[in-house]
Structure 1
Amino acid sequence: MPLNEEHILKFLDNESDTKAKSELISLLKTRIDKLCFDECERDRITCTLQPKCSRRFLLKLRIKGGLTIDDLPKFCYSVHKGVVERYFRNKTVIYRPFDAYLYLIDFFDVFFHGDYRKLNKFVSFKKWDEIFKIFDDRIQNRNENFDYLLIDNYLIIKFDDRLHIAFLEEKYAICNANRENIASLELLYGICKLHAALYFSEVKLTYMTSKHVEITLKIPYDVLTEISEEPSIANISKVDQYFWNTFWEDLNALTQYCDQINLNIDKNQNLEIILYISLLTNNYNEVGEKLPLRFRDLRLIFNFITRIYQDYYILWV
């Protein structure tokens, strides 16, 4: 059997000789540097159309590792930034730049061109009011359509259905967040808070520090009384169609991503659905460890909440 990735990972996990591990990592680093700075950058057409690493993930390795722009293959990074900008402008791109990392100043340049230097300076000096003035001016006077929320170390920005997170202390941002893991409970709560304000403002949101985020939504008693006692094929209503055929499937799907789901009847006979969401899902990897919650997982939870809120709460209250 030839040497494969599992052998290397197992060696790094189990080997007690730190010198041997250091040599192996050094070999890996040498290979990565040669790939990035020589093989890929040498041919700009290839670098643009078919980079040597999938979706330029080695840029993410360097950016998240705290390296500066001088430590990156500059042409590759410029192409990467250009792809993010073209996708933002709804232009044709070779690939959709989901989970694309940019330095903070470049993030501001792509999404807030014209104000990016001021925004970068205000972040450095923590002048949040000045940042909000710029954002509000762009929304109110320049017809730009986005929403934002500052929480802890994160500036959460939402353009339509695309979510971007600026990590303020680290000086980088993730654009079009999708498959990446959600970094902290504070960030999870912030995203929930922003979505609640936009799409389901009367849903109760509770932040249980170091545990989970708790979301409580209600199905009014008036809706419950519209559900037939037995499923019917003829003249089935929209309420029956959903609650007899789809509701339980939706809840079952959500059990993959929620710590816990509780159903209660409150004092007014409304049905309360309480979702407990943490940084870990109920899905497992091959060694039996829980998988982290990703941005796309949270989006599935929001889709359920929005459907219940818009179809079976707002119209009935």
Structure 2
Amino acid sequence: MELKKHNNQFSQRINLLDQISDTQLAKEFIEMHEVKCTECQEDRLRCATRPACKDRNFLNTMIEIGVEPEDLPNFCYSQNLEQIRRYVLEKKGRKMIDRRLPIKDLLSTLGVSSIRHFSTKFKKEWSNFSQVQENNVLLVAGDTLLFRFDFHRGIVTVNPTKDRIHSYDVFKLYCKLFSTYYEVESNIRDLTSNWWILSILLKDVDTANLRALQKSELAGAFEAIYYKEIDDKAQIDVEVIRNDSSTPLEAEHLQELFLKVSKLKK
């Protein structure tokens, strides 16, 4: 476990005070967690079942900032890999969300040799298999699983519920994926750089449930949700406006929206 040499990577992500202060905070934080990790891994049963950092969040953080696997807490990381393997391949264990891994380690853990092999294998095994790619980002969904591959950083996120959607390209990518996965017809437009419209077309809509969706807590994640009749279809328009004061739009908001809309069909 060699974490101290990654102080600067962590301080750059903190970005709270100033460079000197953030560097010192990062150094102290990592030093404290190195002690915590050492003690946790000495009790292997505890580390395997009830790690000292909830949901292995410290390990997740270190992977997120780019710490190489050889510098991570070894036993903790091995347990993380095994839990993800069992969850993905055997559908065992608690649901995992927002778990990061180096792409090469995920592929190795799942017994596949490449992204193409990953797609080919699980397209045959998972229901509603869907995938979309834009530049260096690949999204894959199937069964109840979702993966976000970031090829630029070499990191994959398993079930990225809290992935914040700051750009139209990422918004469009998630919409395309969920449109295919939930089998609903949709299109996406960017009216301005921070004002986007998602339009979904449905036949035989339950209007009472649609009105309930408009008043739901989920609707608060979007600027507006409204609909109009077009021939024998209902067009549901979802507005998104991104600015510094708005609540961050996350992947789970879009996924829940598509799930609920898919259930509006009579």
Q: Which TM-score tier does this pair reach, normalised by the shorter chain? A: 0.7 to 0.9
Amino acid at match of 1:168: F
The answer to whether structure 1 residue 299 and structure 2 residue 255 are counterparts is yes
User: How far off is 1:136 after superposition?
Assistant: 6.1
User: How far off is 1:216 after superposition?
Assistant: 1.5
Deviations 1:105-146 (A, max 9, x none): 1122244x1x32xx26xxxxxxxxxx3xx4564367xx3223
Q: TM-score, normalised by structure 1?
A: 0.68
- The RMSD of aligned alpha carbons is 3.0
Q: 1:20 to 1:107 in 2, by over 3 A?
A: closer
- Overall identity of the aligned pairs, in %: 20
Provide the rounded CA distance (Å) in 2 between the counterparts of 1:23 and 1:137: 47
SS of the residue corresponding to residue 141 of structure 2 reads: strand
Runs of 4+ in structure 1 over 6 Å off: none
Provide the rounded CA distance (Å) in 2 between the counterparts of 1:198 and 1:163: 10
Provide the rounded CA distance (Å) in 2 between the counterparts of 1:108 and 1:277: 35
Amino acid at match of 1:292: P
Q: Which residue of structure 2 aligns with residue 259 of structure 1?
A: 223
Q: 1:33 to 1:305 in 2, by over 3 A?
A: same
Q: Is the 8 A contact 1:99 1:178 kept in 2?
A: yes
User: How far off is 1:261 after superposition?
Assistant: 2.6
- Note the residue ranges of structure 1 that are not aligned, 5 or more in a row: 1-11, 121-130, 224-238, 281-287, 312-317
Deviations 1:221-254 (A, max 9, x none): xx5xxxxxxxxxxxxxxx7xx434x332211224
Q: TM-score, normalised by structure 2?
A: 0.79
Q: Is the 8 A contact 2:214 2:226 kept in 1?
A: no
User: How far off is 1:44 after superposition?
Assistant: 1.4
Q: What aligned pairs does 1:262-277 form with structure 2 within 5 A after superposition?
A: 262-266=226-230, 268=231, 271-277=234-240
The answer to whether structure 1 residue 249 and structure 2 residue 232 are counterparts is no
Q: Is the 8 A contact 1:185 1:279 kept in 2?
A: no
User: How far off is 1:164 after superposition?
Assistant: 0.8
The answer to whether structure 1 residue 290 and structure 2 residue 246 are counterparts is yes
Q: Which residue of structure 2 aligns with residue 173 of structure 1?
A: 156
Q: Which residue of structure 2 aligns with residue 7 of structure 1?
A: none
Q: Which has the larger radius of gyration?
A: 1
Q: What aligned pairs does 1:110-121 form with structure 2 within 5 A after superposition?
A: 110-111=109-110, 113=111, 115-116=112-113, 119=114
Deviations 1:73-131 (A, max 9, x none): 111111001111111123532x42211111101122244x1x32xx26xxxxxxxxxx3
Amino acid at match of 1:258: F
Amino acid at match of 1:249: A
User: How far off is 1:301 after superposition?
Assistant: 0.8
Q: Which residue of structure 1 aligns with residue 132 of structure 2?
A: 149
User: How far off is 1:193 after superposition?
Assistant: 0.6
Deviations 1:160-208 (A, max 9, x none): 1221111111001101222443464322211211222343453333355
> How many residue pairs were aligned?
249
